[in-house]
């Protein structure tokens, strides 16, 4: 059989699968998992790199292997290796999606990232240098913009922490110190809350004039035409309404 079970004789392997499928024998399951651990290690090694160490991925792959052993039905006549590989790969992909990648990328981009990584490795060996985006796109038969998008998505799946320095480990400045800024929306929210409290203390005409001027942003001559008085009178009414608004605000604060 495959190299993953080279240490097992064929008859011994059939006996283990028979015992486990009929009796769910824990000892038989353990022997089967141990026999196929090289397969889990081989798959984990393909995905190990800068972001995740081999040991962590090997544990995830081993969990996928255990699940594959639990779900495999030898009576169907299909080889276990063909059943186990997709199960282990699925476990590793879920691990990256749920535990490692902070930013979720679309499935199509995720699949292209794997192809781009593999093409990059192959071309680097062939060309003895890092390949260009165009060279990778030619090998994959993909649009260069799609390849570039996959390369950018690969780098941005784990955003930079706000607690690290953008330059070096010795810098005292951190990303959080110069990221973001004051949001004017907070001030507006506070003002709206205050107005919601004090406006009911004004009469209907004052509320109407203040709304036309500061919400609808109408000029005074338009307000005068709207309520049927002179522009000068509107100016006086606005001053009086604002003064009453200040008085109500002070009373509310006190």
Q: How far apart are CA 43 and CA 86, in angstroms?
A: 10
In the chain, pLDDT over 70 holds for what percent of residues?
A: 72
pLDDT digits (tens, 9 = 90+) for 101-121: 666 667 788 788 878 888 888
Per-residue confidence (pLDDT) for residue 40, from 0 to 100:
92
101: left (phi over 0), alpha (psi -120 to 50) or beta: beta
pTM: 0.42
In this prediction, residue 157 has a pLDDT band, given cuts at 50, 70 and 90, of low
Task: Kindly state the average pLDDT of the residues 143-151.
Answer: 89
DSSP per-residue string spanning 40-67 = HHHHHHHH-SSSS-HHHHHHHHHHHHHH
Q: Does the pLDDT value for residue 172 go beyond 60?
A: no
Please state, as a whole number, how many other Cβ atoms lie within 10 Å of the Cβ of residue 25: 15
70: left (phi over 0), alpha (psi -120 to 50) or beta: alpha
Domains of the chain (ranges, CATH numbers): 3-100 (1.20.120.1810), 103-159 (1.10.10), 184-253 (1.20.140.160)
Q: Does the pLDDT value for residue 252 go beyond 80?
A: no
Q: How far apart are CA 120 and CA 123, in angstroms?
A: 5
Per-residue confidence (pLDDT) for residue 2, from 0 to 100:
45
| CA-based torsion, 18, 19, 25, 30: positive or negative | negative
Per-residue confidence (pLDDT) for residue 138, from 0 to 100:
92
In this prediction, residue 185 has a pLDDT band, given cuts at 50, 70 and 90, of low
Closest CA to 92 of 152, 145, 42: 42
Task: Kindly state the average pLDDT of the residues 191-195.
Answer: 66
């Amino acid at each position: 059989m495959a190299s993953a079970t080279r240490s097992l004789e064929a008859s011994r392997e059939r006996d283990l699968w028979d015992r486990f499928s009929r009796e769910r024998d824990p000892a038989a399951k353990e022997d089967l998992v141990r026999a196929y651990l090289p397969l889990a290690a081989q798959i984990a090694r393909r995905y190990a790199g800068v972001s995740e160490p081999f040991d962590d991925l090997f544990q995830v792959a081993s969990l996928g292997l255990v699940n594959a052993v639990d779900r495999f039905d030898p009576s169907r006549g299909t080889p276990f290796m063909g059943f186990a590989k997709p199960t282990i790969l699925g476990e590793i992909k879920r691990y990256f999606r749920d535990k490692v990648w902070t930013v979720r990328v679309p499935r199509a981009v995720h699949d292209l990232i794997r192809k781009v990584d593999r093409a990059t490795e192959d071309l680097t060996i062939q060309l003895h240098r890092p390949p260009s985006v165009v060279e990778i796109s030619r090998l994959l038969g993909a649009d260069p913009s799609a390849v570039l998008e996959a390369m950018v998505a690969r780098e941005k799946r784990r955003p930079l922490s706000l607690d690290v320095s953008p330059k070096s480990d010795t810098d005292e400045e951190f990303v959080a110190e110069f990221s973001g800024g004051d949001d004017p929306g907070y001030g507006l929210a506070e003002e709206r809350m205050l107005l919601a409290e004090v406006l009911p203390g004004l009469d209907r005409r004052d509320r109407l004039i203040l709304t036309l001027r500061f919400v609808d942003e109408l000029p005074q001559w338009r307000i005068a035409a709207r309520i049927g008085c002179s522009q000068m009178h509107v100016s006086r009414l606005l001053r009086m309404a604002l003064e009453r608004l200040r008085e109500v605000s002070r009373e509310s604060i006190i």
